[in-house]
Amino acid sequence: MSRFLKPSFEKLVPYTPGEQPKDNKYIKLNTNESPFAPSKKAIAAAKKAAKKLQLYSDPECLALREKLAEIYGAKKEQVIVTNGSDEVLNFAFMTFCDENTPAAFADITYGFYKVFAAVNNVPFVEIPLNEDFTINVNDYCGINKTIFIANPNAPTGIALTLEDIEKILISNPNNIVVIDEAYTGLGAQSAVSLVERYDNLLVTMTFSKTRSMAGARLGFGIGNKDIINDLNTVRYSTNPYNVNSMTLAAGIGSLADEQYTKANCKTIMENRLYTTNELKKRGFSVLDSLSNFVFATHPKLDANELYLKLKENSVLVRHFTLERIKDYNRITIGTKSQMQAFFKILDKICQGDLK
Ligand code: PMP
């Protein structure tokens, strides 16, 4: 810590990203990336855009917004494009939360919400999930706070229905409800269809997961145009060129190849079923996931030890030390052959054949 750090940041605990090893020796099932390459159309578009990097990127992100609006049945004025969906989420904390309107989110959810609250000096409440890690919708009704819900939730993978989300929207008419749909497209219902009806709804999505573009850093939000205007005021007050030209082009390329994304989603859902069944056969309890990961616990295996043993044997999964979930590991769904290799190693560990 330097002597120049402002006192309010002395206790700031930053978000801890999952491990990104530099060598290729790992079967990487720890950060919910897609195991598939980006669409060829995305790669070709990014290459072409690289030739014009002497120019600033389009601060309006117009072409991409138009395409997103078309795909999600919205108007371009209802779309904001950001540097990963982390950025639109951070903008939402900056724009819609303060001491009079604290943030509210689940005790077990995406760990970055707490950090966004802290860095923006926003008070927050954590609402405990039920014993079975589901959300109790009534806990979110009429609470007069800016609500953040990851749907499906992370790291549990459990999703709310649209009826539940609607109930929360209706009961908080004077507060923004942010539905973080980072893992949309894998079986959960999207709340984007509610945007026309509820002016307090902001849906956030990303190209990082199903569109295989985590490294490009591309996210977006869809909501009422006034909400989007407010977010844009903050965006233009921090970094109007928040999304680089290669990423914008890659995004447009990816959207021109929806068949590819859909096919990959189908494969991930099939592999998720395979993984869940195989884990259950081995005595694991697995939460019902509508994401590209599963959250699993075993009555006889220590989750942290298992994580470490898997890592020693070149498989990375994610273990969280938080008390309520310390008995679980989160396993990203990879290709079928990655999952088969994972089970081979898991079985060897369980039989004591591996160190
Ligand atoms: N929301 C949730 C629930 C996530 O798990 C993630 C990925 N870590 C994000 C948002 C942010 O993803 P990105 O910034 O890559 O769009």
**315-316 and 219-223 beta bridge pairing:** unpaired
State whether 299 and 197 are in the same domain.
Answer: no
Ligand 1 centre distance from Cα of residue 182 (Å): 6
**328-332 and 318-319 beta bridge pairing:** antiparallel
Lookup: tokens for 299: 């009555």
In a domain, 312, yes or no: yes
In a domain, 7, yes or no: no
For residue 205, the cross-strand partners are: 220
State the pLDDT at residue 207.
98
Kindly report, residue by residue over 246-294, the tens digit of the pLDDT: 999 999 999 999 999 999 999 999 999 999 999 999 999 999 999 999 9
Query: What's the structural domain count of the chain?
Result: 2
State the pLDDT at residue 342.
97
State whether 135 and 248 are in the same domain.
Answer: yes
State the pLDDT at residue 193.
97
Residues with CB under 6 A from ligand 1: 84-86, 110, 150, 154, 180, 182, 206, 208, 214, 219
**Burial per residue of 172-201, b for 16 or more beta-carbon CB atoms within 10 angstroms, e otherwise:** beebbbbbbbbbbbbbbbbbbebbeebebb
Q: Output the residue whose Cα is nearest ligand 1's atom 4.
A: 182
State the pLDDT at residue 22.
84
* 18-22, 70-74, 167-171: least confident range: 18-22
- Among residues 116, 120, 99, which one has the least CA distance to residue 150? 116
In a domain, 165, yes or no: yes
CA-to-CA separations, 84 to 150, 183, 208, 215, 276, in angstroms, rounded: 15, 13, 7, 9, 29
Residue of 91, 113, 114, 180 to mutate, ligand 1, most atoms within 8 A of C-beta: 180
Ligand 1 centre distance from Cα of residue 261 (Å): 18
State whether 272 and 166 are in the same domain.
Answer: no
State the pLDDT at residue 322.
94
Sign of CA dihedral 122, 16, 188, 181: positive
In a domain, 14, yes or no: no
- Under 8 Å CB-to-CB from 50, ≥6 apart: which residues? 246
**Is the pTM here over 0.85, yes or no?**
yes
State whether 263 and 237 are in the same domain.
Answer: no
User: In ligand 1, which atom is closest to the CA atom of 110?
Assistant: 3
Ligand 1 centre distance from Cα of residue 348 (Å): 33
Name the average pLDDT for the chain: 97
Ligand 1 centre distance from Cα of residue 271 (Å): 21
State whether 80 and 108 are in the same domain.
Answer: yes
* 118-122, 256-260, 349-353: least confident range: 349-353
- Among residues 115, 96, 94, 113, which one has the least CA distance to residue 105? 113
State whether 224 and 99 are in the same domain.
Answer: yes
Q: Which of 241, 256, 271 is the last residue of a domain?
A: 256
User: In ligand 1, which atom is closest to the CA atom of 17?
Assistant: 8
Q: Output the residue whose Cα is nearest ligand 1's atom 1.
A: 182
State the pLDDT at residue 20.
87
Q: Which of 234, 256, 278 is the last residue of a domain?
A: 256
CA 202 from chain center: how many Å? 15
Ligand 1 centre distance from Cα of residue 88 (Å): 10
Burial class from Cβ neighbours inside 10 Å (0-12, 13-18, 19+) for residue 59 reads: middle
Dihedral angle over CA of 27, 28, 33, 36, nearest 10? -20
State whether 251 and 299 are in the same domain.
Answer: no
Inter-residue contact 235 to 221 (CB < 8 Å): no
> What secondary structure letter does DSSP report for 188?
S
State the pLDDT at residue 331.
98
Residue of 206, 212, 220, 333 to mutate, ligand 1, most atoms within 8 A of C-beta: 206
Return the number of other C-beta atoms located less than 10 Å from residue 64's C-beta: 25
State whether 95 and 201 are in the same domain.
Answer: yes
In a domain, 195, yes or no: yes
Q: Which of 233, 256, 279 is the last residue of a domain?
A: 256
State whether 309 and 293 are in the same domain.
Answer: yes
Q: Which CATH number covers residue 142?
A: 3.40.640.10
Burial class from Cβ neighbours inside 10 Å (0-12, 13-18, 19+) for residue 157 reads: buried
Q: Which CATH number covers residue 325?
A: 3.90.1150.10
| pLDDT at position 303 over 80 | yes
Ligand 1 centre distance from Cα of residue 90 (Å): 11
State whether 51 and 68 are in the same domain.
Answer: yes
Grade residue 341 by pLDDT with cuts at 50, 70 and 90.
Answer: very high
- Provide the total of helices (H) and of strands (E) in the chain, helices listed first: 10, 13
Ligand 1 centre distance from Cα of residue 100 (Å): 27
Ligand 1 centre distance from Cα of residue 116 (Å): 13
Grade residue 25 by pLDDT with cuts at 50, 70 and 90.
Answer: confident
Q: Residue 292 is part of which domain span? A: 21-36+259-350
In a domain, 298, yes or no: yes
In a domain, 355, yes or no: no
Grade residue 355 by pLDDT with cuts at 50, 70 and 90.
Answer: low
**124-127 and 79-82 beta bridge pairing:** unpaired
Grade residue 354 by pLDDT with cuts at 50, 70 and 90.
Answer: low
Kindly report, residue by residue over 132-157, the tens digit of the pLDDT: 999 999 999 999 999 999 999 999 99
State whether 225 and 283 are in the same domain.
Answer: no
Identify the helix (H) or strand (E) that includes residue 254.
helix 245-255
Inter-residue contact 86 to 150 (CB < 8 Å): no
| pLDDT at position 111 over 70 | yes
Q: What percentage of residues in the chain have a pLDDT greater than 70?
A: 99
State whether 244 and 134 are in the same domain.
Answer: yes
Say which amino acid occupies 208. S
In a domain, 11, yes or no: no
